[in-house]
Amino acid sequence: MSLPTHVRLVEVGPRDGLQNEAQPISVADKVRLVDALTAAGVSYIEVGSFVSPKWVPQMAGSAEVFAQIQRKPGVTYAALAPNLRGFEDAVAAGVKEVAVFAAASEAFSQRNINCSISESLARFVPIMEAAKQHGVSVRGYVSCVLGCPYEGNVAPEQVALVARELYDMGCYEVSLGDTIGTGTAGATRKLIEVVAADVPREKLAGHFHDTYGQAMANIYASLLEGVAVFDSSIAGLGGCPYAKGASGNVATEDVVYLLNGLGIDSGIDLEALIVAGQHISTVLGRASGSRVARARSAQ
């Protein structure tokens, strides 16, 4: 299969990245990050989450962030919604696209959203109905597609089952999350082959955490399998509060560098992206998780 000519990157840094930060980050700093990402040409930004603040305190100010960002026409500003309450709060904040999130492993589903996989899917049905009424698009996530922090191995067929349910209920795209970053290129190819029997490849996205340093290889493996949408996080921010030891998603700067080298268009200006990443790294008081950004700043 030939490589795609265009790849869409879903920037999850302000959500997946920052949700895991224990230190307070001001609404102004979050807004500044989202605006810098917009200015760099990112076409899809996951800005926040409408989840319980008891579960993920860092996302509590998401409505204020949405109220203050500069929205550029053509750019999608999305939020996570775990239930109808979250969906309604998101709509009230002017959100036009939400993501629902399920897991391929029962234990992770319990720890992350306090219910079984089938209960979570049942919870999404009223969200899908309300979304249709409000003209809101819904993206779906499946977590633990290449391993679970509590259960270990996860069968690709189990991932396919959950992905198919999300797709059939109306998610326009299903993002496959390697939450703990244990996946390898071979396992990634096999996973996509199995899932693609149930959900078309052009409706799949890859979401790779870089805990084991495999994310770039897994993205390349996914490209070879015909996947053309990837989630990534500016400066490699983040982890998952319910997956101990999980590091951030693959850094957006590094993915753009890879795509540029392959002649694949992402619409993103790498230099502007690096500046956005350096700024949030300064706010957090640590070095960027992007190898490209670190190499550039050493020059």
Among 63, 65, 113, 258, binds ligand HMG (CB under 6 A): 113
Q: In 10 A of CB 4, how many CB atoms?
A: 17
Scanning 13-21, 93-101, 124-132, 213-221 for contacts with Mg ion by CB under 5 A, the matching segment is 13-21
Among 76, 143, 222, 266, binds ligand HMG (CB under 6 A): 143
Q: Which amino acid is at 260?
A: N
What does each C-alpha distance from 32 to 17, 38, 139 come to in angstroms?
15, 10, 25
Half-sphere exposure of 157 (CA within 13 A, CB side): 0
* Closest-approach residue to ligand HMG (CB): 177
**Residue 267 site contact among Mg ion, ligand HMG, none (CB < 5 to 8 Å, cut-off depends on kind):** none
Is 165 among the residues that bind Mg ion (CB under 5 A)? no
Q: In 10 A of CB 44, how many CB atoms?
A: 18
d(CA 168, CA 16): 25
Scanning 189-197, 237-245, 252-260, 272-280 for contacts with ligand HMG by CB under 6 A, the matching segment is 237-245
Structure tokens at 21: 């930060």
Among 61, 86, 206, 236, binds ligand HMG (CB under 6 A): 86
Among 13, 82, 140, 183, binds ligand HMG (CB under 6 A): 82
What does each C-alpha distance from 129 to 137, 138, 164 come to in angstroms?
11, 11, 18
CB of 240 to Mg ion, least distance (A): 5
Q: Give the distance, in angstroms, between the CA of residue 164 and the centroid of all CA atoms in the same chain.
A: 19
**Residue 113 site contact among ligand HMG, Mg ion, none (CB < 5 to 8 Å, cut-off depends on kind):** ligand HMG
**Number of residues counted as binding ligand HMG (CB under 6 A):** 28
Scanning 110-118, 186-194, 261-269, 272-280 for contacts with ligand HMG by CB under 6 A, the matching segment is 110-118
Pick out residues in 265-294 that bind ligand HMG (CB under 6 A).
none
Pick out residues in 180-209 that bind ligand HMG (CB under 6 A).
207, 209
User: Under DSSP, is residue 200 helix (H, G, I), strand (E, B) or coil?
Assistant: coil
CB of 215 to ligand HMG, least distance (A): 11
Is 16 among the residues that bind Mg ion (CB under 5 A)? yes
Pick out residues in 39-58 that bind ligand HMG (CB under 6 A).
49-52, 54-56
Is 102 among the residues that bind ligand HMG (CB under 6 A)? no
Scanning 14-22, 89-97, 113-121, 214-222 for contacts with Mg ion by CB under 5 A, the matching segment is 14-22
Stated length of the chain: 299
d(CA 198, CA 220): 22
Is 240 known to be catalytic? yes
d(CA 36, CA 273): 8
The backbone torsions φ and ψ at residue 123, rounded to the nearest 5 degrees and listed phi first, read: -65, -25
What does each C-alpha distance from 225 to 79, 220, 252 come to in angstroms?
28, 9, 20
Query: Which residues are near Mg ion by CB under 5 A?
Result: 16
Active site residues: 240
